[in-house]
Amino acid sequence: MRARILRRRELIEDDWTLLEDGGAADASAAGGKVIVTLARWRSQREALLAAHAAVGVLVPNTADIEAVYPEIDGRPLIALQFPTFSDGRALSQAVVLRRRVGFTGELRAVGDVIRDLVFWLGRCGFDSIVPRQDQSLEACREALEELSVAYQAVADDHTPVWVRRRGRPAVH
Amino acid sequence: MYRYDDIDRALVTQRVEQFRDQTRRYLAGELSEEEFRHLRLRNGLYQQRFAPMLRISVPYGLLEAAQLRKMAQVVRKYDRGYAHFTTRQNIQLNWPKLEQVPDLLGELSQVQLHGIQACGNDTRNITSDYLAGVAADEHTDPRPYCELLRQYVALHPEFYWLPRKFKFAVTGAAVDRAASRTNDVAVHLVRRADGAIGYRFFVGGGLGRQPMLGQEMNPFVPESDLLRYACAILRTFNRFGRRDNIHKARIKIVLREWGIERFRAAIEEEYARIKASAEGEELLLLPEDIERVRAHFTSPAYRPAAEVAADLEAVAARDARFAAWLKRNVRAHKVPGYRVVFVSLKAPDRIPGDCTAEQFEALAQICETYSFGELRSTYEQNLVLADVAERDLEELWRTLETHELATPNIGLVTDIVSCPGLDLCGLANAGTSGVVQEIYRRFDGLDAQYEIGAIRITISGCMNGCGHHSVGHIGILGVDKHGEEWYQVTLGGSPGNDAAIGERVGRALARDEIADGVERLIRAYLELRCDEDETFIECYRRVGMESFKARLYESEAEAQAA
């Protein structure tokens, strides 16, 4: 059975399979959409492309995403890691991917993803969220809308507050 | 004073509701202890020894009457009738009940107060010059820049889960009254010869373990690039700050491990990349963006000097107590006829920085009557009435005296900076309040205090350094030795323009020795100084550690000799 995840604010069945490095069950994923580690992508790129309908890449949160990007440019999915929910390194990677190098594919958050991280993920440009198993998907979807106002634009639909106020009278 | 608009109000209101739901889920067992810990800290709620502690952000130390009245209400309704001003210009409540905190925050939000990012691994409340706008040595009012920065870092999603706490201070005057280089980032406003405003950025300061002063990163970042440069620093920290060891997670450790050249290159490269991107376009501040915020910080309607000036010397001549207060607690103002008044929160037998509900209420009335409705908090845990007419000073002094707010000791030996220590704090290794009281009593006589002159005694109950011990002229650090309270002494620290980290003298002193030790250090100073104009810190810097060290451990040497 496939996991249910949150993609573009919808609850869907995941159509991607995460291949563990050195995992034995790769055969079941043959012909499907797979996510592989950056190391595996580097070493088995041609074979992976030949064997699967689509290949996404899981990038460690310690990677310099800008330096790595030429190697994964054009991938339909990039997955970033949250070893714990309070480790925000992948948030900076996400913002750089969305705002600087112009990645427009699926950006996925994996790991210790709890409901209370989801709002911040959404604003940093993640459009694909795989919550930790014990988390309520419905609650995670609601969490995307937790706060409607924001001071900054990050990788979301907001306008920075200093830009919004242009043209407004100075003191209220 | 910055006034919220609909956007600010909506943000704070929604934030209260978000925390209300998080608290509900925690109490219902839906959030783990560890998960809720991170969430509550980001709303100012810390777990102390006996109860939660709620830290309320006071943006750059600026308060107004309505906020003071609200503080009086909430400390009565939700706490034990008092609160505590901290060394980062904030206010702490010591005994709120967790289940009531959402309501408490809801009440505070009515007066532009909140606990957003008051604790936790995020960008903390921004501190600044408590004489902003009134100091003669100020070239640029820092408050508009503080506010722009405050809004940029408040609930910033990318920087909401940093490796460790992150502190900014902003100043715009010749004198540093914000202990700026003890912060992760110090922003010094500068004016170039051609009149252009910019920022001199220092990065990597921090107290606590391995205290360090911020190092210069860039001597002049243009005024438009405040948020761009802040973004570059924050992103570099978020990426490279260590997450494997909480004691090595501050940005100062990245600086120390990399060395300044590599560290500066990383920040400058990120800054260059931001400038070249769409993100950089968005982060660029236009002159009108800055002007719009500056308009919130206009000078009050000062009256002509002829209407407000007074012959204070005459009043002082007939009342020695007023004279003492005038000399110690009143400072010059840039506008003729006005003075800056310090409200001492260091009365005898009081915890430094504590303020009762009755005092909050009195201060609300006082600042409305005498200082255009505003009050500032200082990192030395006192308060400032920034705009007092000379003509009102005598009456104000009498009113402050009634409320035990006129102790004439600003900058003197009894103006001791202190964290709450073991009485309240879960991190503390040793008590601070008892030591403070004992030192206080030794020098309580005004003549003795004036004889000693300007000195900064600071005490922390643990090495996290909330009591700023590393930057005290005499710094005292409480340590635990096999369940007993001991105190290490450092000398020569300073938080201002002459910023320095104090040097540890030697072995720690026992609880019953520490006040004697401090007294011996001060007696040593009185003997060693060239004349009455040489302050403790000047004398220490001239004479050096050894003479003071010998005196600190004098009793031990005598014991060994005997």
Geometric angle at alpha carbon B383, from B381 and B389, rounded to 5°: 160
Query: How far is it, in rounded angstroms, from Cα A132 to Cα B467?
Result: 40
Give the global pTM: 0.97
**Are B461 and B478 a contacting pair, CB within 8 Å?**
yes
Question: Is A87 touching B (CB cutoff 8 A)?
Answer: yes
Query: How far is it, in rounded angstroms, from Cα B473 to Cα B15?
Result: 41
**Are A102 and A119 a contacting pair, CB within 8 Å?**
no
Q: What type of residue is B546?
A: E
Q: Can you tell me the mean pLDDT for B18-35? A: 97
Fill in the DSSP letter of residue B224: G
Statement: residue B307 has pLDDT above 70:
yes
Q: How many Å lie between the alpha carbon of A155 and the closest alpha carbon of chain B?
A: 9
Statement: residue A26 has pLDDT above 80:
no
Burial class (CB in 10 A: 0-12, 13-18, 19+), A46: exposed
Q: How many Å lie between the alpha carbon of B12 and the closest alpha carbon of chain A?
A: 9
Query: How far is it, in rounded angstroms, from Cα B60 to Cα A106?
Result: 41
Q: Verify whether the Cβ–Cβ distance B35 to A152 is below 8 Å.
A: no
Beta bridge partners of B384: B342, B376
Give the pLDDT of residue A23: 64
Query: How far is it, in rounded angstroms, from Cα A68 to Cα B306?
Result: 70
**Are B134 and B387 a contacting pair, CB within 8 Å?**
yes
Statement: residue B561 has pLDDT above 60:
yes
CA distances (Å), origin B375, targets A154, B63, B198, B371, B537? 35, 5, 28, 8, 30
Give the pLDDT of residue A172: 54
The set of residues, in sequence order, having a beta carbon less than 8 Å from that of B529 and lying 6+ positions away, is B536, B539
Reduce the DSSP state of residue B562 to 3 states and report it: coil
Give the pLDDT of residue B489: 98
Reduce the DSSP state of residue A83 to 3 states and report it: coil
Q: What is the CA radius of gyration of chain A?
A: 18
Geometric angle at alpha carbon B206, from B428 and B36, rounded to 5°: 55
Statement: residue B84 has pLDDT above 80:
yes
Q: How many Å lie between the alpha carbon of B171 and the closest alpha carbon of chain A?
A: 22
pLDDT band at A95 (very low <50, low <70, confident <90, very high): very high
pLDDT band at A31 (very low <50, low <70, confident <90, very high): confident
Pairing of strands B168-171, B127-128: parallel
Give the pLDDT of residue B444: 86
| 178-207 of B, contacting A, C-beta below 8 A | none
Statement: residue B462 has pLDDT above 60:
yes
Beta bridge partners of B375: B63
Question: Is A101 touching B (CB cutoff 8 A)?
Answer: no
**Are B254 and B263 a contacting pair, CB within 8 Å?**
yes
Of B10, B35, B39, which has the smallest distance from its Cβ to A149's Cβ?
B10
Question: Is B5 touching A (CB cutoff 8 A)?
Answer: yes
Q: Can you tell me the mean pLDDT for B497-520? A: 96
Residue B31 sits at φ, ψ, to 5 deg, of: -120, 135
Q: Is the pLDDT higher at A15 or at B48?
A: A15
pLDDT band at A24 (very low <50, low <70, confident <90, very high): low
> In chain A, which residue's Cα lies nearest the Cα of B11?
A149
Statement: residue B261 has pLDDT above 70:
yes
Beta strands (DSSP E) in B41-81 are 45-47, 52-56, 62-64
Q: What residues of A are in contact with residue B4 (Cβ under 8 Å)?
A: 172
Give the pLDDT of residue B457: 98
Burial class (CB in 10 A: 0-12, 13-18, 19+), B373: middle
Give the pLDDT of residue B233: 98
pLDDT band at B219 (very low <50, low <70, confident <90, very high): very high
Fill in the DSSP letter of residue A15: -
Q: Can you tell me the mean pLDDT for B58-65? A: 98
Residue B469: closest CA among B208, B111, B161: B208
Give the pLDDT of residue A29: 75
Statement: residue A1 has pLDDT above 60:
no
Q: Verify whether the Cβ–Cβ distance A88 to B5 is below 8 Å.
A: no
Percentage, residues of chain B above pLDDT 90: 95
Question: Is A48 touching B (CB cutoff 8 A)?
Answer: no
Give the pLDDT of residue B104: 98
Reduce the DSSP state of residue B239 to 3 states and report it: helix
Q: What residues of A are in contact with residue B15 (Cβ under 8 Å)?
A: 147
Q: What residues of B are in contact with residue A161 (Cβ under 8 Å)?
A: 7, 151
User: In what side-by-side order are the strands of the sheet with A77-82?
Assistant: A10-13, A4-7, A128-129, A106-111, A77-82, A54-59, A33-37, A16-18
Average pLDDT, chain B: 96
Q: What residues of B are in contact with residue A166 (Cβ under 8 Å)?
A: 286, 288-289
Q: How many Å lie between the alpha carbon of A138 and the closest alpha carbon of chain B?
A: 14
Pairing of strands B509-510, B484-491: antiparallel
Q: Can you tell me the mean pLDDT for A77-97? A: 98
pLDDT band at B50 (very low <50, low <70, confident <90, very high): confident
SS3 of B302-349 = CCCHHHHCCCHHHHHHHCHHHHHHHHHHEEECCCCCEEEEEECCCCCC
Q: Verify whether the Cβ–Cβ distance B156 to A152 is below 8 Å.
A: yes
Of A14-28, A51-65, A117-131, B232-246, the one with minimum mean pLDDT is: A14-28
Statement: residue A171 has pLDDT above 90:
no
- In the structure encoding, which two tokens stand for residue B498, read together? 């002459």
Pairing of strands A54-59, A33-37: parallel
- In the structure encoding, which two tokens stand for residue B139, read together? 């070239």
Entry field: residues in chain A: 172
Q: What residues of B are in contact with residue A66 (Cβ under 8 Å)?
A: 273
The tens digit of pLDDT for each residue in B333-387 reads 999 999 999 999 999 999 999 999 999 999 999 999 999 999 999 999 999 999 9
Statement: residue A28 has pLDDT above 80:
no
Q: What residues of B are in contact with residue A163 (Cβ under 8 Å)?
A: 282, 289
Terminal-residue alpha carbon distance, chain B? 63
Of A92, A146, A151, which has the smallest distance from its Cβ to B235's Cβ?
A92
Burial class (CB in 10 A: 0-12, 13-18, 19+), B504: middle
Geometric angle at alpha carbon A88, from A138 and B168, rounded to 5°: 125
- In the structure encoding, which two tokens stand for residue B555, read together? 């009793």
Q: Can you tell me the mean pLDDT for B197-207? A: 97
The tens digit of pLDDT for each residue in B265-292 reads 999 999 999 999 999 999 999 999 999 9
CA distances (Å), origin B546, targets B2, B137, B542, B549? 50, 36, 11, 5
Q: What residues of A are in contact with residue B10 (Cβ under 8 Å)?
A: 148-149
The set of residues, in sequence order, having a beta carbon less than 8 Å from that of B561 and lying 6+ positions away, is none
Q: Can you tell me the mean pLDDT for B390-419? A: 98
pLDDT band at A25 (very low <50, low <70, confident <90, very high): low
Give the pLDDT of residue B476: 98
